[in-house]
Structure 1
Amino acid sequence: MTETLPRGTIYIDEMEVGIARSLTKVITDEDIQMFAQVSTDHNPVHLDDDYAKGTMFKGRIAHGMLTAGLISAVIGEQLPGYGTVYMGQTLKFLAPVRPGDEVYAEVKVTDFDPEKRRVKMDCHCSVDGKKVLIGEATVLAPSR
């Protein structure tokens, strides 16, 4: 199940501190397999149950960048949305995401510069209310 707000664009002249957008997605085995194919990251902690059971995670986990990709989806589809250009992103991974976990990804505007069209946003992903990833993004917002 993937749940999102309407897609589109919030232009720089409509930007306000505190605006937030989010999505929710269940991470599936198929998502993990496809991410491994696209990224060429075939680390067995993501793909091999027997191997992963012997790790500190005691089971398979999703790629961290798959989870981070949900933040990118919110930024590119909702806030600011279409026409946004990524300038930078910090990420700190706090806990693993496992196949079957429902991940909530949210971005929130903390600062913006209308003249330079730059927007800073706090970002996080959580599972069952527990943050699994935090960070900050800087983007170039679209203008009319």
Structure 2
Amino acid sequence: MDDVRQIKDNEGHCIEDLAVGMTASFAKTVTEADIVLFAGISGDTNPVHLNQEYASGTMFQGRIAHGMLSAGFISAVLGTKLPGPGCIYMSQNLKFKAPVRAGDTVTARATVTELIPEKRRVVVRTVCTVGQTVVIEGEALLMVPSRG
């Protein structure tokens, strides 16, 4: 039984399965460790992310998480839920609207807005929120598998 479930977890939606309006989300609470590890992985050691004294003097009045850390949660939705495994991320535009801080829970939501079946493409509206506050909004273009 576990093997059958594992196989299904590795299968995403094909273009034939998708419809405008379909939506999925992924949520993660950002930790201090996430911010430090992302700085190390990405090489972005801007002190607004790592140094409280420095960050206190900025418009944010304290440390903030990397915008691309939160944007990465969009990739989690697209690659694991909608369309899911097998999709290829082709492009993404992002507008960073508000800061994210350690302890905030970011919810990334993806909503299908357009299907281009002849090219196996799907356009997805992407939004990240903390509570009711939009922190990132944008649009992604994906290539998805077809059964045909």
**Which residue among 78, 91, 96 is the counterpart of 1:93?**
96
Question: Match for residue 49 of structure 1?
Answer: 52
Question: Match for residue 58 of structure 1?
Answer: 61
C-alpha separation between the residues in 1 aligned to 2:66 and 2:107? 16
Q: Secondary structure at the match of 1:45?
A: helix
C-alpha separation between the residues in 1 aligned to 2:13 and 2:37? 30
C-alpha separation between the residues in 2 aligned to 1:113 and 1:50? 49
Unaligned residue ranges in structure 1 (runs of 5+) = 1-5
Structure with the greater alpha carbon radius of gyration: 2
Residue 27 (1) aligns with residue 20 (2)? no
Q: Secondary structure at the match of 1:69?
A: helix
C-alpha separation between the residues in 1 aligned to 2:72 and 2:146? 24
Q: Secondary structure at the match of 1:115?
A: helix
C-alpha separation between the residues in 2 aligned to 1:40 and 1:32? 12
Q: Secondary structure at the match of 1:81?
A: coil
Q: How much is the aligned-residue C-alpha RMSD, in angstroms?
A: 1.1
Per-residue CA distance 1:44-103 (angstroms, 9 max, x = gap): 100111111111100000000001000011001111111111111010000000010011
Question: Match for residue 107 of structure 1?
Answer: 110
Q: Is the 8 A contact 2:11 2:86 kept in 1?
A: no
Q: Secondary structure at the match of 1:86?
A: strand
Of all paired residues, the percent bearing the same amino acid is 53
1:143, distance to aligned residue in structure 2 (A): 2.3
Unaligned residue ranges in structure 2 (runs of 5+) = 1-8
Q: Is the 8 A contact 1:124 1:131 kept in 2?
A: yes
Change (3 A) 1:121 1:132: same
Q: Secondary structure at the match of 1:42?
A: coil
Q: Is the 8 A contact 2:128 2:136 kept in 1?
A: yes
Q: Secondary structure at the match of 2:119?
A: coil
State TM-score, norm by structure 2: 0.90
Residue 134 (1) aligns with residue 137 (2)? yes
Runs of 4+ in 1 over 4 A off after TM superposition: none
Residue 84 (1) aligns with residue 87 (2)? yes
State TM-score, norm by structure 1: 0.93
